[in-house]
Amino acid sequence: MPLKQEVPWYKLAVIYQAHVRTFYDSNGDGVGDFQGLDQKLDYLKELGIDTIWLMPFFPSPLRDDGYDISDYYSVHSSYGTLEDFRTFLKSAHARQIRVIIEMVLNHTSDQHPWFQQSRSSQDNPRRDWYVWSDTDTGYSQTRIIFLDTELSNWAWDPISKSYYWHRFFSHQPDLNYDNPAVREEMWNVMKFWLEMGVDAFRLDAVPYLVEREGTNCENLPETHGIIKELRRKLDEQFPGKMLLAEANQWPVDLRPYFADGDEFHMAFHFPLMPRMFMGVKLEDRKPITEILQQTPEIPPSCQWCLFLRNHDELTLEMLTTVERSYMNDTYARDMDMRLNLGIRRRLAPLLDNDRRRIELMHGILMSLPGTPNIYYGDEIGMGDNIKLGDRNGVRTPMQWSGGWNGGFSAAEPEKLYAPLIQDPVYGYPAVNVVSQKKTEHSLLNWIARIIAVRKTTSVFGAGSIEFLYPANHRILAYVRQLENETILVVNNLSNAAQAVELDLRRYKGNILIEMFGKNIFPRVGDLPYLLTLGPYQFYWFRLRRI
């Protein structure tokens, strides 16, 4: 049904997050590449994906999985050439798949020529491109992000005999955004990729762009100014492109990144994600509803990006101490699973490989207001390998088949960039695309199905939300509306069957049509609407008045 108002593409998208390295190796060197990714675009199309978000693929010493960039204008040789990327981009567009790439604005690798020049001497023209100081006492109120590895935000440079500022690893010096030359150059970088045809940027680590003494150096007004400038240029020269913010902040601190619709188009809703996991364990919707109650309204053109897992640890930063200890005790009993105030596990292992729980979480992901994001491999229920250090346990090769190297690469297994998951439960012989495609009721097919159902309506992506607060706290229920379409979503967060009475008086006279089976359910009358749900079951109802 055509809507009266044009809805921006990113509100209706379903995003698939993947790293080109992990996806498919076409040339047998043990590392995924763009030609391989190109070959797998049909798989994504069949799944129902219309947007792919690529992890950093620029040249890099790879000491932080590509987030330490040493050249902004090229492609890392392991993944192919710039031409390979261009081809891939064209193929994607031909299949109506948009491409989001990473743009790491905050810092570069210490191997980047700019830093090499900057550190060479105090008089170098690029000296000012980074943040230098003679002491390491500046900006003392700033927190350390990588608590497990870094002791300070300042690192000593033996070459220029001074300290440089880095919010992340010490080999990732922060660029100095007070320098107009830096700002101009970074726009040029973005322009380069936009002209090639890239549809959107995920701007990594945006809160930390600017430092000021006496602050915690996060979310400063100057940072917002820079973003506004970028957005202005983007809208002028490249309309229809999108900026996605990665900012792990409380909703109220995230709100400024939307400003009046003149900064970011989208931002990840970080605080919601751990609370979804918490709600399912507590069997109580309270954490979820409360965080959404505290989430401020955003401009109509803006959108939240929702996700269950990503390439990083499941961050518990945006939780109170009580909540964090509860999450650790329930989801990460093994200390090895914990990293940097988070839990480094994939979706399926976190949910005990419980198919019903995995389905429920996807149901909530796809029905809350926002654009859902699927992390590669979670659609088949891939496992993790926590012994791989840092966060590499959730970045293992994609499991295509039960055959050689899980169908990922023709190379010798020892050459693979990372070992495959091999255990009997999550290993590639058990969990892979080929066998799931053959099985009618596999997780893969189920996820394709739910994406298809979601796409039958714009309500999920662009509609309003109103929570119902049934007295049974194990039930998370809400109504989504857009123009004259209304959808009722009811989720059972508990492990046991539940009965719930919903107050649907406002929707009296409507017939409920369950969206997966399209069967009709009783009409809403005067009495509270009684529903019973099995363990972890959820319903999507279209409300129809005939």
Q: Does 546 help bind other proteins (rule: CB under 8 A)?
A: no
Per CB under 8 A, which region of 2-10, 204-212, 469-477, 518-526 contacts other proteins? 469-477
Q: Does 321 help bind other proteins (rule: CB under 8 A)?
A: no
Per CB under 8 A, which region of 126-134, 319-327, 332-340, 402-410 contacts other proteins? 319-327
Rounded distance between C-alpha atoms, residue 385 and residue 422, angstroms: 9
Contact assessment for residue 263 and residue 224, using Cβ atoms and an 8 Å cutoff: yes
What lies within 8 Å, CB to CB, of 129 at 6+ separation is 114, 115, 118, 175, 176, 179, 181, 182
Catalytic status, residue 246 = yes
Containing 113, the helix (H) or strand (E) segment is helix 113-120
21 C-beta neighbours (distance < 10 Å), count: 25
Q: Does 471 help bind other proteins (rule: CB under 8 A)?
A: yes
* Amino acid occupying residue 499: A
Determine which residue in the list 19, 285, 311, 480 makes contact with other proteins, applying CB under 8 A. 285
Q: How far is the CB of 293 from other proteins (least distance, A)?
A: 6
Rounded distance between C-alpha atoms, residue 356 and residue 367, angstroms: 16
Q: Does 503 help bind other proteins (rule: CB under 8 A)?
A: no
Nearer to other proteins, 282 or 298 (CB): 282
Q: Does 501 help bind other proteins (rule: CB under 8 A)?
A: yes
Per CB under 8 A, which region of 93-101, 175-183, 333-341, 491-499 contacts other proteins? 491-499
Biggest alpha carbon distance in the chain? Answer: 79
Nearer to other proteins, 54 or 319 (CB): 319
Phi, psi of 208 (to 5 degrees): -105, 10
Determine which residue in the list 298, 345, 470, 488 makes contact with other proteins, applying CB under 8 A. 470
Q: Does 82 help bind other proteins (rule: CB under 8 A)?
A: no
Q: What is the dihedral of CA 115, 34, 347, 334, to 10 degrees?
A: -50
Q: Does 405 help bind other proteins (rule: CB under 8 A)?
A: no
Rounded distance between C-alpha atoms, residue 264 and residue 234, angstroms: 11
Residue of 283, 205, 199 lying closest to 241 (CA atoms)? 199
Nearer to other proteins, 184 or 290 (CB): 290
Q: Does 290 help bind other proteins (rule: CB under 8 A)?
A: yes
Nearer to other proteins, 35 or 491 (CB): 491
Q: Does 333 help bind other proteins (rule: CB under 8 A)?
A: no
Q: Does 322 help bind other proteins (rule: CB under 8 A)?
A: yes
Q: Does 293 help bind other proteins (rule: CB under 8 A)?
A: yes
Q: How large is the angle between the packed helices 272-282 and 286-293, nearest 10 degrees?
A: 150
User: DSSP string spanning 452-504?
Assistant: HHHHT-SHHHH-EEEEE--S-TTEEEEEEEETTEEEEEEEE-SSS-EEEEE--
Per CB under 8 A, which region of 51-59, 322-330, 423-431, 443-451 contacts other proteins? 322-330
Determine which residue in the list 43, 238, 469, 521 makes contact with other proteins, applying CB under 8 A. 469
Buried b / exposed e along 158-195 (16+ C-beta atoms within 10 A): eebebbbbbbbbbbbbbbbbebeebbeebbebbeebbe
Catalytic residue among 50, 64, 218, 246: 246
- In three-state secondary structure terms, 159 is coil
Task: Tell which phi-psi region holds residue 115, choosing left (phi > 0), alpha (psi between -120 and 50) or beta.
Answer: alpha
Determine which residue in the list 63, 473, 511, 513 makes contact with other proteins, applying CB under 8 A. 473
Of the CA atoms within 13 Å of residue 369, those in its CB half-sphere come to 21
Cα 440 from chain centroid (whole Å): 28
Nearer to other proteins, 496 or 520 (CB): 496
Q: Does 252 help bind other proteins (rule: CB under 8 A)?
A: no
Q: Does 499 help bind other proteins (rule: CB under 8 A)?
A: yes
Q: How many residues bind other proteins (CB under 8 A)?
A: 27
Cα 112 from chain centroid (whole Å): 27
Q: What is the CA radius of gyration of the chain?
A: 24
Determine which residue in the list 474, 489, 507, 531 makes contact with other proteins, applying CB under 8 A. 474
Q: Does 223 help bind other proteins (rule: CB under 8 A)?
A: no
Q: Does 323 help bind other proteins (rule: CB under 8 A)?
A: yes
Cα 92 from chain centroid (whole Å): 20
Kindly report the length of the chain: 546
Catalytic status, residue 218 = no
Determine which residue in the list 161, 212, 286, 545 makes contact with other proteins, applying CB under 8 A. 286
Per CB under 8 A, which region of 192-200, 239-247, 425-433, 464-472 contacts other proteins? 464-472
Q: How far is the CB of 538 from other proteins (least distance, A)?
A: 18
Per CB under 8 A, which region of 33-41, 286-294, 334-342, 403-411 contacts other proteins? 286-294
The residues of the shown chain that bind other proteins, judged by CB under 8 A, are: 278, 282-287, 289-290, 293, 320, 322-323, 326, 467, 469-474, 494, 496, 498-501
Catalytic residues: 204, 246
